[in-house]
Structure 1
Amino acid sequence: MIDRTWRPQFIVIGAVKAATTWIQARLVENPAIFMPPPEPHYFSSEFERGEEWYRAFFQDRPGAAHLIGEKSADYLAHPLAARRIAATLPDVKLVLQLRNPVERAYSDYKMLYRRGTVKGPPEDYLTTPDNPFARFLEDGLYARHLARWFDLFPREQMLIYLYDDVITHPHAIIEAVSRHIGAEPVFEADRTARENNSRSALLPLPLRKALAPLKSSVRPLRGNPVFESMRSLLAREVAYPPLPPALRERMRDFYSRDIESLEAMSGLDLARWKSPTRAVPAA
């Protein structure tokens, strides 16, 4: 008999840079839920590795955990992920967290900027998708991507909510997601802090690259007062190139039609996304 008890019963499918790490951190605080710490990306970029490779992510699940899930934020925008998941896990519960696409694109740019992957200003990457990092703009075309999922999954299998609501009503989001996947909500003390904050102090990029091979060895030292004190002597907040107001408005126009479609197909109120764009917050 084939053992299918390890397979995910729910998946957080995106979007990238929409605080999906935050909801994963909140869910695993619940002892009834297991999620592997890293993103498997199995149904997107790693599908050729095969199911046994994917299964290894769940081999350490505790026996007491009766709900198994995973989070890979690139699934939403990947052209094949929805069909692969539907063929493998047709009954899986899906969780989707969306962020204002202008803010999402700039945040994605900043993530690769602090890694040193991109070096030019936002104008080089956020003016048009015709550049080596088309994902910055294209991943925010949520209605286009969501149509693939709605073609394959019943609407009631997917819970969609907004990044803005995480900021204003975090407990309500934890409760809604927990109940959607079939778990009783568990609340810890303060659940408004970001898990991946672009304003966090980082070591200079050359030093980060030099120390990259030691990352797993150093991880247990995080939180140690002596280690953190030494790190603070070198760490600095990254100075990101700003997003010019004219480019911000150009991006808002780029997304306007897709936002209208998303409102119609999801029932979400996206008035905040359609109003003149305020300054993009750090994240």
Structure 2
Amino acid sequence: MSNIAWTEQGSKNGVELSDIDFLIIGATKSATTWLQQSLQQAPYVYMPDAELHFFSRNYQKGDAWYLDQFERKPHTRVIGEKSNSYLESPEAPRRIQKALPRARLIAQLRNPVDRAYSDYCMLYRRGEVSKDISKYLDPRQAGGGRFLLGGLYYRQLETYLDLFPAESLKILLYEHIRQNPQAHLDAVRDFLQLPSALKPVANKVKDKTVPVVPPMLRRFLYPLRPIAAPFRSTPFVKGLRSMIAREPDYTPLPLDLRNRLIDFYAPETERLGKLLQQDLSGWLDATSSSKLFPA
């Protein structure tokens, strides 16, 4: 398709709001990148690599900016994007309903305790939080925040269900990916009415053991990032980074803290189980989690 000048409804790439078929709205640390990359392998699906966060954090940039993030390639039949912040954002549901009333929405959810811990570990790798895990995850101390509030799935989904018909929302579970990834993708294919089967990505999307610059040093060097950015790909900087990078030393999730998190999420989990008509009691069992470290 030839490029056209952007109009009130369209972009320079010829994409209009009505062309956006689906959104992956979350949740954070629930293998949504795996789902995105599995979809991107299909030649008829177009998704930008980056999370746009348009309806949550970048709404002020306007429709023109949003639509310019998409392309319509020769074989493109389905267009979508992934922004995990849409599930948590109070403003996103109504903005999406106004702009994309016919879009299909996918929410992929994970045991909220594991999700909170994995999210904490991700920010620890980035040097944005300390090793004092209770400060961020203990419901008695944390006072909410992204780690705890990100797992309140029922109330987040309730807002979407108030604005969209139930058949427009597909709710998936991270745990089902581990059991049968192909069946998981088959459900996505059917929901999006795709013309052929999806295949799971073969590579591991993210690896918690990849060496990183130690968090304290990252915080110290953070003000220098704009200066160092042009040189990051040079052999000297790569060599220097390899000398100081280490596998992250994560603080384990203590069993007593895990139990407090289970109690915190229990009411939401029970409501969500009734909504999905699924048994989520495994989320409330401190011994049932197959991993205490992040994916």
Report if aligned partners of 2:134, 2:142 keep a CA contact under 8 Å in 1.
no
| Structure-1 residue corresponding to 2:120 | 109
Equivalent residue number for residue 61 of structure 1: 72
Contact 2:30 2:110 in 1 (8 A): yes
Contact 1:19/1:196 (CA < 8 Å) preserved in 2? Answer: no
Assess, with a 3 A threshold, how the Cα gap between structure 1 residues 107 and 189 changes in structure 2: closer, same or farther: closer
How far does the alpha carbon of each residue in 1:187-206 deviate from its partner, in whole angstroms, 9 at most, with x for none?
Answer: 26736x3x233222223443
Matching residue within 202, 206, 212 for 1:190: 202
Larger radius of gyration: 2
**Matches of residues 43-122 of structure 1 in structure 2 within 5 Å?**
43-58=55-70, 60-122=71-133
Alpha-carbon contact 1:179-1:185 (below 8 Å) kept: no
Aligned length: 276
CA drift of 1:151 comes to: 0.5
CA RMSD of aligned residues (A): 2.7
Matched-pair identity in %: 37
The alignment status of 1:265 with 2:275, answered yes or no, reads yes
Q: Deviations over 1:206-262 (max 9, x none)?
A: 36745676668757x9xx9xx989865543210011211101000000000100000
Kindly indicate whether the alpha-carbon contact (under 8 Å) linking 1:129 and 1:138 is maintained by their aligned counterparts in 2: no
Return the alpha-carbon distance in structure 2 between the equivalents of residues 185 and 178 of structure 1. Answer: 7
Cα offsets for 1:34-83 (capped at 9, x unmatched)? 0011100001011111111111211x431321110000011111111111
Match of 1:251 in 2: 261
User: Aligned partners of 1:212 and 1:111: how far apart in 2?
Assistant: 22
> TM-score, structure 1 length as denominator?
0.87
Shift of 1:9: 0.5
Instruction: Give 1:26's match in structure 2, choosing from 20, 38, 42.
Output: 38
User: Which one of 217, 230, 240 corresponds to residue 250 of structure 2?
Assistant: 240
Once the 2 structures are TM-superposed, how far is the Cα of residue 268 of structure 1 from its aligned partner?
Answer: 2.7
* TM-score computed with the length of structure 2 as normaliser: 0.84
Unaligned runs of 5+ in 2: 1-6
